[in-house]
Structure 1
């Protein structure tokens, strides 16, 4: 373990029921196995991130295999890179992280999310990894310590990513393409805005550049009300729409387009 203190950046060493640095900053390990490395002063709310209801919706939907092709391709791309150390940023309930762990069985793996509810569930899927409740803006790992950072439908702090990347390393990002869930959005909104699927590249630091990109798309037929409800709950659309528009989605079967892109972003 090569964790650093999120308060003073000194190395963390194993201590009774947790970890501690030389300055005496101590962080607990939960009984489920994860480390809580999110100090109170770094929180913007009492329980930041996704709540239990949102996490459970995502767990059910992903566990049913609807997005399995996304995870399989992500794991394949990660395996091609074969990093000595990798980190899944914004790991959520751990569906994609567990597939990454299977693809990289002998590598040093870390996963973090700001949501305690998500990490509590995620750490059961791959206990061999180091799981953390931590801020994406203050990842408790040393500079230049990682060859691969992964981000799935999650924001990236580019400056922090650049700090973590070792020479030759890169960021594997999975994000929505232009047609992603277009049918769902058409049911929810009077005017549907196109995704700008390359918008994230506009804010890249000069030291990072897009080295490779590819797309994946397929159709899903959501015949059960629970599946439609879970999909809605795990997207930002779930808390943006009123009850009437929500019921419009839940009332009858829905066929949706899943369209994503994978970007491999490296140090230039």
Structure 2
């Protein structure tokens, strides 16, 4: 698995405190252990990706174990693939990525949000962490066995480029009824999630070979509910009064429902 220069696309070699390519483009290793491979010209804002508040809220919620059943299932599926090189796109603060070294040899976590990668790198030093754009992955072509994308973007062309022939893509997206009760409290109209749209989106390069829906009950106390709202797009999509009213609830019972897809690269 080769990490490449985001400027000239030649291989990067790791030295003690930096990564450098044959054209002498150099990228320092931060004290937390990550490498920033997001050139300023690839940024669409000063601080791209999730906000600091969203990252911290997600970390608090996930560390409390509410999505641990999903993580366990994903690691079981990944273990069956016997992958050597795994790339986690949109890895965030590393909750799911952190389980991958137990079932694969070499792991790269990529996210565009600096705060998320800083947290991940500090906590899980046995994984390679990169600040980079999923739309322009600093990864050599046909070098990855399995790409994972959990609630994250699916840049089809880039994923098809970096995954090996007949390699795999493991995807998680909300299933139809995911967090229905919470969404009903935030919005006048609740539109069902449409996970099947990803099958068509990925079809030119990836063939669906396995799928499952994981659903279980969630009982959320006020602090967990606030974290869950803050880590989702609902935080800014919902009207302020609706969000405030829900955040004042002592308890909310809802269901987590996840659509899990495994695709294989065609050709």
The bucket for the TM-score relative to the shorter chain is over 0.9
Counterpart position of 2:151: 153
Q: Which residue of 1 aligns with 2:23?
A: 23
Contact kept in structure 1, 2:85 and 2:146, CA below 8 Å = yes
Residue 94 (structure 2) aligns with: 94
2:209 equivalent in structure 1: 211
The question of whether the paired residues in 2 share the 8 Å contact of 1:158 and 1:205 is answered with no
What are the ranges of 5 or more consecutive residues in structure 2 without an aligned counterpart? none
Unaligned runs of 5+ in 1: none
Instruction: Kindly provide the CA deviation profile for residues 222-257 of structure 1, in whole angstroms up to 9, marking residues without a partner as x.
Output: 12x211110000110011123210122112210111
Query: What is the alpha-carbon distance in structure 2 between the residues aligned to residue 221 and residue 99 of structure 1?
Result: 25
CA distance in 1, matches of 2:202, 2:256: 26
Indicate if the aligned counterparts of 1:176 and 1:261 stay in contact, CA closer than 8 A.
Answer: yes
**Does residue 36 of structure 2 align to residue 36 of structure 1?**
yes
Cα distance in structure 2, aligned partners of 1:61 and 1:14? 34
C-alpha separation in 1, matches of 2:71 and 2:139:
25
Residue pair 2:186, 2:239 contacting (<8 A) in 1 also: no
Confirm whether residue 137 of structure 1 aligns to residue 135 of structure 2: yes
CA contact (8 A) 2:83 2:103 kept: no
Q: Do 1:49 and 1:114's aligned partners in 2 also have CA atoms closer than 8 Å?
A: yes
Aligned residues between the structures: 265
1:167-246 counterparts in 2 under 5 A? Answer: 167-223=165-221, 225-246=222-243
Q: Deviations over 1:3-33 (max 9, x none)?
A: 1111111011124621111222111211000
1:101 Cα offset (Å) = 2.3
- The answer on whether the counterparts of 1:62 and 1:95 sit within 8 Å (CA) in structure 2 is yes
RMSD: 1.2
Contact 1:86 / 1:148 at 8 angstroms: preserved in 2? Answer: yes
Shift of residue 138 of structure 1? 1.3
Verify the 8 A CA contact 2:225 2:252 in the aligned structure 1.
yes
The answer to whether the Cα contact below 8 Å between 1:74 and 1:100 also exists between their aligned partners in 2 is: no
